Amino acid sequence: MVPQCAVKNTSEYYLLPGTMSIFLNNSYVSKTNISEIATGDTFNCTLGIDTSIRVSHELTQSFVSSPPSSFVEQYMTTTYVSTTKLHNRHTGDYPVNIVERSSIPIASESDLESRCS
């Protein structure tokens, strides 16, 4: 898990683009890159990895099907079902907001061209 925060530039100076070191409670957390930030603007940055949150992914099912047809080219479809588990090991009432981003593979143009020729 990578916690994020919103930071407002309350100084009277522009923050110049470049690498920024992040400290939380006087302890070094991580580095990030920022673009130019004007006075009064807000930007998001990460606070490093939260080691109290555990994430596990498990492939729970996988099956292949081939619909019968006499008019269309035969094809195989593989379906996967996976489970994502989150374990919050923080003590006390500590809310965790989760955003999961997954990618679905798609065929490239060269794959499609080779199948059509």
Region 24-28: mean pLDDT is 79
Element (H, E) at 88: strand 77-88
Q: What is the DSSP string of 23-75?
A: EETTEEEEEEEE--B-TT-EEEEE----TTEEEEEEEEEEEEE----SSS---
Show me where the domains of the chain are located: 4-102
Tokens coding 6:
């919103």
What is the reported pTM?
0.42
What percentage of the chain exceeds 90 in pLDDT? Answer: 15
Mean pLDDT score, 81-89: 83
